[in-house]
Amino acid sequence: MPEMIINGLAVNFRSGETVLQAALAGGIHIPALCHHPGLGHFGSCRLCLVEILAGGRPGLAASCSLPASEDLVVETGTERVVRARRVVLGLLLARCPDAKPLLELAENLGAVKFTPRPGDPGCILCGRCVRACRAVGANVIGFAWRGRDRRVAVPFDQPPADCLGCRACEQVCPVNVIKVVEDRGRIRIFPWQSEIEMAYCRNCGAAIGPGVQAGRLQKRFPVEGPLSGLCPACRRRFQAALAGGLVIQPT
Amino acid sequence: MTEGGIKHRVESGRDLQALEKKGLELLYPGRPRIAVAMASCGRAAGSGRIYESIGDELERRGLDASLVPAGCPGLCSREPLVTVLEPGKARIYYSGVQPADAGPLVSALAGGEVYQKRALGAEVEDRLVVTGRQIDLGPPPGNLGLLADLDFYRPQVRLATRNCGCINPFSIHEYAARGGYRALAEALAGDPSGIIAEIKKSGLRGRGGAGFPTGLKWEITAGSGHDEKYIICNGDEGDPGAYMDRSILEGDPHSVLEGMIIGAYCMGARHGIIYVRAEYPLAIKTVGHAIAQARELGLLGENILNSGLSFDVEVVMGAGAFVCGEETALIASIEGHPGEPRPRPPYPARQGLWGKPTCINNVETLANIPLIAGRGGDWYAGLGTAGSRGTKVFALVGKVKNSGLVEVPMGTTIGDIVLGAGGGPDGGRKLKAVQTGGPSGGCIPASLVDLPVDYESLTGAGTIMGSGGMVVMDESVCMVDMARYFMTFAAGESCGKCTPCREGTAEILDILDRITQGGGRPEDLDTLDELSRVVKDASLCGLGQTATNPVLSTLRYFRSEYEAHIKDKHCPAGVCRNLTVYRINPELCIGCGLCAEECPGGAILGRDDQPRVISQESCTRCGACYRICPQEAIFFTGRGMPGA
Ligand SMILES: Cc1cc2nc3c(=O)[nH]c(=O)nc-3n(C[C@H](O)[C@H](O)[C@H](O)COP(=O)(O)O)c2cc1C
Ligand code: FES
């Protein structure tokens, strides 16, 4: 396997991997916020900065989007890196002074203090939800405006009709500002305000998932007969029973 | 304005000669030729009406002359500009021409005379840079100096702008007559790697800002094996105050096209895109016309000049943001995505438009290509300095007498450009600073007028070459306010994708706003310095990486001005209104009352020939009284200064 140098240590990497991936695999911790292993490069938060000493353009680079390569030599804790990271974290904290994950990071890494700017809804604009929705959801989340006015938004700021309710956005949000409320057979996702009816197992009554998504799944991978409309647990039980030669009448 | 009558495809050197011959007949007709500078700058000065008036006047007198539009010859501050060429005589440049001048100008022409009132200078020869050929026009009139001897033109060597202001930009024939498309024909007969070698030898570096060696970029793109490749001409030109690229696109579109076709041949691209900012309607029209003409003649399309090369070009209008000039954002916007940059690598030369290898070059870079292909790398490298070869076009604007476009060899000093060609600040004021590189550049203090303009020297002085904007500032400019202006631009144009650029520029702007309004704190300077360094270090794209140069450079060279704002609540230039208090010195005031007449707020009290007093409650601190006072009895001081 090819090697590169991180903090003076030789670290293996597979071709196509980034410096961040190589570091993690080699047991070297680099803080990161906008990066998500399943969502490709984005490089927006700039927390994962490392300093390139050789083998690339000297200076700081975001390790999450820097391809690992054989002659690359980087450091993760130089004065320049630390200074930049503290300022970046401080700027994010000024935006979202109450975000717990940021406060924890600041405790560990230190952060420069800036005047907090109230009015932000707690979002750090890392774009993970936007990318997750594009990758596995219905691509209904995007960025609007630019500069400091930039925000994550849904089309026309209306509850997005196409939202599947897959909750991928909620899952990837590093600062937990996307909230889901379940209420009488429906879920509502905030701040998008989308409202999705849930589908329930016709055997045990447990929630299977959002109705739209269940409907689409049924269309793509049709399940007919006794196994249709079941939650995974009931389906497995039924499958086992069928294999045993039993004929099942749904209750 | 457009020319019809193109008969058939250009397939050989002989066809090209026919094109050239017709062009020479147009450039040097056996009758007077009048060209009106009608680029955007000329039109803004009213050249459209001049063109019509001269046309009417020619018709009225039944004078047989050819009247054509031309691009901008550079001296924008003296527009409207008109040139007149009579057979066997020197070409006469007229400046500041008004519609009322049409009559006397045409009658002077009818009598074979020079219209002295507006005459600027004479040109006795035309030099065709591409071929090195010289065409003698005729002797200059006795009482008119040479254009080349004017301060503005003396330091200039016009390569990229070789045809601007000279040819009719709607005529492919006139372009050919100046040696156009010859380099292409020669290139297509040779080996692509040979041309790339010449470009490498020339030392040409990208004129779009980053200064990347063009030959190397072409070589990498050529080597990116793929059957589909693109070449993009970057004409987004978003720097406030810069308009070199607009002028080239409007005045000599074929030079850029020819550069692109040569590039296509060298790199194996089949498709080209000229990305022009939407705010340049005339450039879009001119380029569109040039493309149609080239296509009609077979210089674009299938099997160009029977070489087997197939290449076509389309125009894409810019998406209206400064950041769309950044190459990855530009590509995103062509693909229909928001104009936001992405991390590099992969560089466009490997993975660009639609994921295919893409070469992005600036307008001026491409306009230089036919010259290098035609005359060789060594010839081009003979101009400029070791690290910065050739010439660079600068847009000289701001507080300078001769504003306009100047093209000088790299290594020319700031002083030769600003004080020499530019004539220095107007009204006898002293030069204070020069901002190069627009919002991405820094401020050089007047003490550095001997600094040579090349990539390394400028970077060493804390600024950048950028695309060639050069804003001249005199003593009346407040450097803190200037930094605030550029940060307003950067914060407003930041796409907001990455944290340092989005939050950092806005934070810096907040601090500068506060300082210029009198709320500066002693610790602000350290915060500004640290923030500016981190934004520069940590941002995702070139916008953030250069956005704080105006702050860093003014902190470096004009720190005392920041300190005056913060400690003394004093703006030494009197620009920051919240800090400035105007007073009248009763010893000097003669009670003329001019100040009271000028004051928009009725803030000046007193009557007859008594000394006047300013009511501080009503004063808006606009400074009108200060400027009008014939006795210099009005002065200003800082809010926090003794006596304020
Ligand atoms: C914010 C930003 C704006 C830019 N705007 C322009 C522009 O208007 N025109 C241009 O040619 N290059 C611009 N560039 C530089 C391009 O990214 C790219 O380097 C250039 O077009 C490459 O051409 P060259 O090598 O011929 O200079 C800009 C870069 C940044 C970071
Ligand atoms: S994790 Fe690399 S930039 Fe955000």
The CA-atom distances, in angstroms, between A112 and each of B8, B423, B633 are: 69, 47, 48
Q: What is the pLDDT of residue A121?
A: 74
Q: What is the pLDDT of residue B639?
A: 86
In a domain? residue A114:
no
**What are the chain A neighbours of B505 within 8 Å (beta carbons)?**
147
For residue A165, which of A145, A146, A150, A185 has the smallest C-alpha distance? Answer: A185
Separation CA B211–CA B361 (nearest Å): 10
| Per-residue pLDDT tens over the stretch A69-88 | 999 999 999 999 999 999 99
φ, ψ of residue B582 to 5 degrees: the values are: -100, 140
Q: What is the pLDDT of residue B247?
A: 98
Residue A11 β-bridge partners? A4
In a domain? residue A236:
yes
- Domain boundaries B479-567, CATH class: mainly alpha
Residue type, B636: F
Separation CA A124–CA A129 (nearest Å): 11
Cα of B390 vs centre of ligand 1, distance in Å, is 19
Mind telling me how many Å the CA of B491 is from chain A's nearest CA?
Answer: 6
E strand or H helix at B194, and its extent? helix B192-202
DSSP codes, B309-320 = EEEEEEEEE--S
Please identify which residue in the block is written with the tokens 């909620």.
A170
Residue B358 β-bridge partners? B230
Query: Residues A72, A30: one domain?
Result: yes
The mean-pLDDT minimum among A11-15, A185-189, B243-247, B446-450 falls in: A185-189
Separation CA B102–CA B99 (nearest Å): 6
Please identify which residue in the block is written with the tokens 């202006």.
B485
Q: What letter does residue A207 receive in the DSSP assignment?
A: E
- Asked whether B79 lines ligand 1 (CB < 6 A), one says no
Sign of the alpha-carbon dihedral angle for B325, B327, B332, B336: positive
Q: How many CB atoms lie within 10 A of CB A160?
A: 20
Taking a C-beta distance cutoff of 8 angstroms, is the pair B204, B389 a contact? yes
Q: Kindly state whether A36 is in contact with chain B, defined as any CB-CB distance less than 8 angstroms.
A: no
CATH placement of domain B577-638: 3.30.70.20
* B27-44 burial code (b ≥16 CB/10 A, e <16): beeeebbbbbbbbbbbbe
Separation CA B553–CA B447 (nearest Å): 14
Sign of the alpha-carbon dihedral angle for A98, A100, A105, A108: positive
Taking an 8 Å cut-off on Cβ atoms, the answer to whether B530 and A114 are in contact is: no
Q: Kindly state whether A28 is in contact with chain B, defined as any CB-CB distance less than 8 angstroms.
A: no
**Higher-pLDDT residue of A224, A61:** A61
The CA-atom distances, in angstroms, between B506 and each of A150, B130, B509, B633 are: 12, 48, 5, 40
Q: What is the pLDDT of residue A223?
A: 84
Q: Which strands, in side-by-side order, build the sheet including B443-445?
A: B404-409, B391-398, B469-474, B431-436, B443-445
Residue type, B217: K
Nearest CA in chain B to A66: B345
Q: What is the pLDDT of residue A120?
A: 62
Percent of chain B with pLDDT over 70: 99
Look at residue B5 and tell me whether its pLDDT is greater than 60: no
Nearest CA in chain B to A96: B503
What residues contact B475, with CB distance under 8 A and at least 6 apart? Answer: B429, B430, B432, B573
Ligand minimally distant from the alpha carbon of residue A125: 2
Binding pocket residue ranges, ligand 2, CB within 6 Å = A 32-35, 43-48, 62, 64
**What are the chain A neighbours of B494 within 8 Å (beta carbons)?**
146-148
> Which tokens sit at B536?
């520069």
pLDDT band at B2 (very low <50, low <70, confident <90, very high): very low
Mind telling me how many Å the CA of B550 is from chain A's nearest CA?
Answer: 19
Cα of A87 vs centre of ligand 2, distance in Å, is 14
Query: Residues A227, A136: one domain?
Result: no
The mean pLDDT of A104-108, rounded to a whole number, is 96
Cα of B446 vs centre of ligand 2, distance in Å, is 41
| Per-residue pLDDT tens over the stretch A45-67 | 999 999 999 999 999 999 999 99
Residue type, B559: R
* Residues of chain B that touch chain A, judged by Cβ-Cβ distance less than 8 Å: 321, 338, 340, 342-343, 345, 491-500, 502-507, 510, 530-531, 533-534, 537-540
Could you give the number of structural domains in chain A?
3
The CA-atom distances, in angstroms, between B49 and each of B52, B175, B286 are: 5, 26, 19
Does a cis peptide bond (omega within 30 degrees of 0) precede residue B348? no
| Per-residue pLDDT tens over the stretch B223-278 | 998 889 999 999 999 988 899 999 999 999 999 999 999 999 999 999 999 999 99
Taking a C-beta distance cutoff of 8 angstroms, is the pair B317, B287 a contact? no
Shortest-distance Cα residue to atom 30 of ligand 1: B326
pLDDT band at A232 (very low <50, low <70, confident <90, very high): confident
- Domain extents in chain B: 29-86+92-131, 191-381, 391-474, 479-567, 577-638
For residue B234, which of B356, B366, B360 has the smallest C-alpha distance? Answer: B360
Residue type, B323: V
Q: Is residue B13 classed as helix, strand or coil in its secondary structure? A: helix
In a domain? residue A55:
yes
In a domain? residue A116:
no
Q: What is the pLDDT of residue B1?
A: 40
Query: Residues A73, A28: one domain?
Result: yes
Query: Residues A22, A103: one domain?
Result: yes
> Which tokens sit at B485?
């202006």
Query: Residues A194, A239: one domain?
Result: no
Separation CA B287–CA B524 (nearest Å): 48
Query: Residues A47, A102: one domain?
Result: yes
| Per-residue pLDDT tens over the stretch B77-121 | 999 999 999 999 999 999 999 999 999 999 999 999 999 999 999
Query: Residues A182, A234: one domain?
Result: no
Separation CA B577–CA B516 (nearest Å): 8
E strand or H helix at B494, and its extent? none
Task: From A19, A64, A81, give the residue whose CB has the most ligand 2 atoms within 8 Å, as the site to mutate.
Answer: A64
Taking a C-beta distance cutoff of 8 angstroms, is the pair B554, B482 a contact? yes
CATH of residue A94's domain is: 3.10.20.740
Percent of chain A with pLDDT over 70: 96
The rounded mean pLDDT for chain B is 95
Q: What is the pLDDT of residue A248?
A: 57
Look at residue A34 and tell me whether its pLDDT is greater than 60: yes
pLDDT band at B395 (very low <50, low <70, confident <90, very high): very high
CA dihedral A38, A41, A42, A47 (to 10 degrees): 90
Residue B432 exposed, middle or buried by CB count within 10 Å (0-12, 13-18, 19+): buried
* Residues in chain A, overall count: 251
* Residues in chain B, overall count: 644
**What are the chain A neighbours of B491 within 8 Å (beta carbons)?**
147-148
Task: From A19, A47, A81, A175, give the residue whose CB has the most ligand 2 atoms within 8 Å, as the site to mutate.
Answer: A47
Nearest CA in chain B to A83: B534
CB-closest option in B340, B491, B537 to A148: B491
Taking an 8 Å cut-off on Cβ atoms, the answer to whether B507 and A94 are in contact is: yes
| Per-residue pLDDT tens over the stretch B354-371 | 999 999 999 999 999 999
Q: What is the pLDDT of residue B641?
A: 83
Separation CA B251–CA B253 (nearest Å): 6
Torsional class of B125: left (φ above 0), alpha (ψ -120 to 50), beta (otherwise): beta
Query: Residues A10, A105: one domain?
Result: yes
Cα of A42 vs centre of ligand 2, distance in Å, is 7
In a domain? residue A248:
no
Separation CA B572–CA B562 (nearest Å): 10
Q: How many CB atoms lie within 10 A of CB A71?
A: 11
**What are the chain B neighbours of A67 within 8 Å (beta carbons)?**
345
Sign of the alpha-carbon dihedral angle for B246, B252, B256, B257: positive
Q: Kindly state whether A32 is in contact with chain B, defined as any CB-CB distance less than 8 angstroms.
A: no
Taking a C-beta distance cutoff of 8 angstroms, is the pair B240, B439 a contact? yes
Taking an 8 Å cut-off on Cβ atoms, the answer to whether A150 and B502 are in contact is: yes
Chain A, chain B: beta-carbon pairs less than 8 Å apart: 96
Separation CA B185–CA B307 (nearest Å): 9
**What are the chain B neighbours of A92 within 8 Å (beta carbons)?**
499, 503
| Per-residue pLDDT tens over the stretch B309-340 | 999 999 999 978 999 999 999 999 999 999 99
For residue B594, which of B617, B584, B475 has the smallest C-alpha distance? Answer: B584
Q: Place domain B191-381 in its CATH homologous superfamily.
A: NADH-ubiquinone oxidoreductase 51kDa subunit (3.40.50.11540)
DSSP codes, B548-562 = THHHHHHHHH-HHHH
**What are the chain B neighbours of A82 within 8 Å (beta carbons)?**
none
Residue A3 β-bridge partners? A12
Q: What is the pLDDT of residue B319?
A: 78
Separation CA B157–CA B148 (nearest Å): 10
Query: Residues A10, A103: one domain?
Result: yes
Query: Residues A148, A195: one domain?
Result: yes
Residue type, B115: Y
Please identify which residue in the block is written with the tokens 């913060």.
B566
The CA-atom distances, in angstroms, between A171 and each of A36, A140, A176, A206, B130 are: 11, 16, 8, 21, 62
**What are the chain A neighbours of B502 within 8 Å (beta carbons)?**
125, 147-148, 150
Taking an 8 Å cut-off on Cβ atoms, the answer to whether B534 and A87 are in contact is: yes
CATH architecture of the domain with range B29-86+92-131? 3-Layer(aba) Sandwich (3.40)
Separation CA B64–CA B68 (nearest Å): 13
CATH placement of domain B391-474: 3.10.20.600
| Per-residue pLDDT tens over the stretch A142-165 | 999 999 999 999 999 999 999 999
In a domain? residue A82:
yes
Q: Kindly state whether A150 is in contact with chain B, defined as any CB-CB distance less than 8 angstroms.
A: yes
Query: Residues A191, A219: one domain?
Result: no
Separation CA B36–CA B54 (nearest Å): 9
Look at residue B45 and tell me whether its pLDDT is greater than 90: yes
CB-closest option in B343, B494, B531 to A43: B343
Query: Residues A226, A167: one domain?
Result: no
Please identify which residue in the block is written with the tokens 């240590």.
A9
Domain that holds residue A102: 3-109
Percent of chain B with pLDDT over 90: 93
Report the Cα B198 to chain-centroid distance in Å.
Answer: 27
Ligand minimally distant from the alpha carbon of residue B539: 2
